[in-house]
Amino acid sequence: MLYTITLNPAVDKVIEIAGTLEREQNNKIKKVLYDIGGKGCHVSAVFSALGLPNIATGFTGGRNGIKLVELMEEKNIKCEFINAGSTNTRECTILVDESNLGSYMITESGELPDEKAYSELILKIQKEINEDDIAALSGSPATGFPKEKYCEIVKTLKNTGAKIFIDARDEYLKEVINLEPFFIKPNKYEFQVLTGKKLEKTDDFIEEIQRLNEKIEIVAVSLGEEGSIVGVKDRGVYGFTPPKIDVVSETGCGDIFVGGVISKYYLKKDIEEIFRFATAISASKAAHFLSSDFSLEQTSKLLPLVKIKKYK
Ligand code: ATP
Ligand code: MG
Ligand code: MG
């Protein structure tokens, strides 16, 4: 089974404004739509699009929690979220107008789950996840969620024997490295924070990636439109470059990339095929507006255009 654990998911409310958004004017809404939010939820969207068995868990609450599950179920994602107590899942507002100058993201930081919910999640992991499973822990928890608890979740996952894929940042990523997850995917900015170095040249990235490969099987550093550098323990370091795309929105590309990696890993494909696919599907995401949107048809067309290099 493929699990995603999203500690601070969201309902994304996308508001399309007619014309150009102006201060101190009546800005008329053209359309409102809702999308699943939270990195792990986006990862689940890839699994379900490919017809892979998967369960989304994490914390939800209140009316927005119900709304999120509805939106997930429309995408055929099986949800087993834990009720986070008297909280309401956060709502993130995305404002987009017709100026073609990009969107505004206005996000709530999310409420903390109560102790009972936290214990329930730990118990669920212990009872239900086992060594044949894969678990993706994507995104940060709500502000104020203690690092110790985050690490406890990862340790509990580790004890099940499942393969752990992490997409985290800042102090959560730093802490989790010592727990030796199977896979991490920092973007360029997150990787520089992690290493504490300003990295410019490919060789600088390779050196740091190889250092981390002593502990972590797969280290994928994503570089937006430039693609990714991927180090695989005892195998080497590879570069994957996507074809040029007419970009609509890069938000969510990393999440869809992670979904692509896990899906092909689950299907026992080799490293080149895994990351060729992840690169193509995340490029397709860049051509779509919503964070959870991509096209499998476009992905197939992009696959042969992905360039692969072996660095080491
Ligand atoms: P997220 O918003 O999901 O957190 P991220 O910053 O973690 O994204 P990126 O490095 O921006 O992740 O993108 C992940 C992958 O998506 C890249 O490695 C690349 O393969 C693909 N990608 C991103 N932007 C583009 C683009 N403009 N054109 C083609 N592919 C892209
Ligand atoms: Mg990015
Ligand atoms: Mg990211």
- Based on the fold, state whether residues 47 and 115 are members of the same structural domain: yes
Model pLDDT, residue 101: 87
Distance between Cα 278 and ligand 1 center (Å): 10
- Based on the fold, state whether residues 12 and 158 are members of the same structural domain: yes
- Total structural domains within the chain: 2
- Based on the fold, state whether residues 240 and 221 are members of the same structural domain: yes
Which residue, 138, 161, 179, sits at the end of a domain? 179
- Based on the fold, state whether residues 100 and 241 are members of the same structural domain: no
Model pLDDT, residue 102: 87
Q: What are phi and psi of 178, to 5 degrees?
A: -65, -20
Q: Is residue 85 over pLDDT 90? A: no
Q: Tell me, what CATH number does 213's domain have?
A: 3.40.1190.20
Which residue, 129, 160, 179, sits at the end of a domain? 179
Is 200 within a domain?
Answer: yes
Which structural domain, as residue segments, surrounds residue 122? 1-20+31-179
- Based on the fold, state whether residues 174 and 188 are members of the same structural domain: no
Is 229 within a domain?
Answer: yes
Q: Which atom of ligand 1 is nearest to the CA of 243?
A: 29
- Based on the fold, state whether residues 230 and 260 are members of the same structural domain: yes
Distance between Cα 167 and ligand 3 center (Å): 7
Digit-coded pLDDT (tens) for 267-288: 999 999 999 999 999 999 999 9
Check pocket membership of 243 for ligand 1, CB cut-off 6 A: no
Is 25 within a domain?
Answer: no
Q: Is residue 100 over pLDDT 90? A: no
Check pocket membership of 40 for ligand 1, CB cut-off 6 A: no
Digit-coded pLDDT (tens) for 19-33: 999 999 999 999 999
Is 67 within a domain?
Answer: yes
Is 298 within a domain?
Answer: yes
- Based on the fold, state whether residues 207 and 148 are members of the same structural domain: no
- Based on the fold, state whether residues 120 and 199 are members of the same structural domain: no
Is 26 within a domain?
Answer: no
- Based on the fold, state whether residues 248 and 266 are members of the same structural domain: yes
Model pLDDT, residue 243: 98
Digit-coded pLDDT (tens) for 124-142: 999 999 999 999 999 999 9
- Based on the fold, state whether residues 76 and 206 are members of the same structural domain: no
Is 302 within a domain?
Answer: yes
Model pLDDT, residue 148: 96
Give strand pairing partners of 222: 187, 228
Is 191 within a domain?
Answer: yes
Which residue, 163, 179, 195, sits at the end of a domain? 179
Query: Average pLDDT over the chain, rounded to whole?
Result: 97
Check pocket membership of 192 for ligand 1, CB cut-off 6 A: no
- Based on the fold, state whether residues 36 and 159 are members of the same structural domain: yes
- Based on the fold, state whether residues 170 and 188 are members of the same structural domain: no
Digit-coded pLDDT (tens) for 179-208: 999 999 999 999 999 999 999 999 999 999
